[in-house]
Amino acid sequence: MQVPLLFNPIALNSIRINTPIQAAIVDLDGTMVDTLGDFAAALNGMLADLALPAITTATIEPMVGKGSEHLLNLVLKHALAQSAPAQAAINSEALFERAWDRYQHHYLAINGQFSQLYPGVLAGLQAMQQRGWKLACLTNKPTAFALPLLQAKGLDSFFSQVFGGDAFERKKPDPLPLLKTCEALGTLPQHTLMLGDSRNDAQAARAAGCPVLLVRYGYNHGEPVEAVDTDGLLDSLADLAQR
């Protein structure tokens, strides 16, 4: 029988988890896969279709994390502000429906082609799997984008459950997606570890009653992850191979 892991509170960069862990909920963008290249390719394809100026990857990075609809709204507002006066006067909401259609077209066409796994992701997932933890992927990315990406990167077999940002009525940082994912896994929140890269993940976990660890890399809206309330930070998911 697999014994639930009890983290040593002074190990792994001062991780402070003292409850048995039976499952993990893992974020996707910025935690397992660096998808900024995919975002840039799809967004710039969409902007070109709308005759709007291109956007840089550096500008996109702090916009990522609250779902594709939120990202698209921010990108449209930025592009319109950089446009000629006639275009700058256009309300981003008026363009959203067409922009969303073009964004989905481009993203599905290139999904995974300009992204890569972060170092240590496979080792971390394998370590959790070997401990007998139940694993779910929970992302604010639309499910239709998340599933093909997991398959393209060889990660889909690790997860018994995959939920995108359109799976529930609300997205992270609301706790509802985590609570629903715990229900699907058949585990209690206090025994279900949230692994993410941003304050969205941490806030959702705190509200749901899940312990939470964040990776030091990732996006986090351009803010230092050290300032987020968590139970600890990881340099890599491979850190979970240590006790």
Annotation-wise, does 27 bind a ligand? yes
What are the angstrom distances between the C-alpha of 188 and each of 19, 56, 166, 181, 218? 11, 42, 23, 10, 27
Q: Is 156 annotated as a binding residue?
A: no
101 is in an annotated binding site: no
User: What's the rounded Cα separation, in Å, for the pair 99 and 102?
Assistant: 5
* Beta strands in the chain, from DSSP E residues, in sequence order: 23-26, 33-34, 116-117, 134-138, 161-163, 192-196, 212-215, 233-234
CA distances from 240 to 21, 92, 117, 158, 218 (A): 12, 43, 16, 15, 17
* 192, 22 Cβ separation under 8 angstroms: yes
**Nearest CA among 54, 51, 70, 52 for reference residue 62:** 70
Contact 219, 197 (CB under 8 A): yes
Q: Is 174 a catalytic residue?
A: no
Closest alpha carbon to 236 in 211, 220, 217, 209: 217
Exactly one of 27, 34, 201, 239 is catalytic; name it: 27
Residues within the annotated binding site for Mg(2+)? 27, 29, 197
- Catalytic positions, written as ranges: 27
